[in-house]
Structure formats: structure tokens, C-alpha cells
A = this chain, B = another copy of it.
Amino acid sequence: MLVQSQIQLQTSGRGTHDITAEVNEHVRRSQVTEGLCTVFVQHTSASLVICENADPDVRTDLEAWLSRAVPDGDPLFVHTSEGSDDMPAHVRSTLTSTSIGIPITSGGLALGTWQGLYLYEHRHLGHSRRIRLTILG
């Protein structure tokens, strides 16, 4: 059994957007009870992370680490025409994930207790982002 669907998400600028509930809703609608849900983001300046979902400070700290490791406006970069946060957004996307495969058990994502699934917007301005789900079971 194979079901594909799509999530369109308007981000509000740099940071993580919890998509766990919405992806779970798509899994439920697919009626696949055991299988695999592959989440894929169709962009190169936004990405996916699975991260601790209890203390929001974890995502704040992840952002702080990424901002320091891949600084906006780094003179290293020559691709600057789309803004000082564009090339850093591409590097951040490469360091995180464009695609994540998550098991489905009992009709939902088999995430661990403290795992949340997030779209990570790496640009400072909000963007409309497309995520594609491929559900196999």
C-alpha cells in the first residue's frame, strides 16, 4: 500500500515549526497501520530535524549553535545576492536533513517519547514551504 500527500506550511522566519501532529494526521488518514513514512522537504534553505520536544530551550540552543557555526554574512561566502542569510541557510540545510524515514506502528509515527518532528526554516523571512509524505505499508 502506498499513499502520497503534501503539507504546505507558511513559516514565520528562522526557527523550528513543529509538524508532528500534522504528519501524524496524514498517517492516520492513509489508514496504513504498520509501515514507513518518508518526510521530504522540497527546498534547500529549509530542512527537517527530529529534536527533543519537552524543553523549548533545546531548540533555542540548537539555533544558537548553528548561528555560531554558520554565521550570517560570513565573508567566506561569494553567493550573497539573495541576502546574507541565504548561503548559511543552504549550509544549515545540508547539516540537518532534507528527508527522514520514520516507522509507522499502530497507525501513527513510532517516535520516541521525547522526539518531535520539526520543519526548520533557515531564512529570516517567512516562506511558504512544501513537504511531501510517502507512506508505505
Contact = CB atoms under 8 A, between A and B. Distances in A.
Interface of A: 2, 4, 34-36, 38, 40-45, 49-52, 55, 57-58, 60-62, 64-65, 68-70, 74, 76-79, 81, 87, 90-91, 94-105, 110-115, 130, 132-134, 136-137
A44 B38 CA distance: 18
Given A100-B99, A102-B99, A112-B130, A60 B78 contact: yes
B77 A38 contact: no
A26 to B, nearest CB: 13
A28 to B, nearest CB: 18
Contacts of A100: 98-99
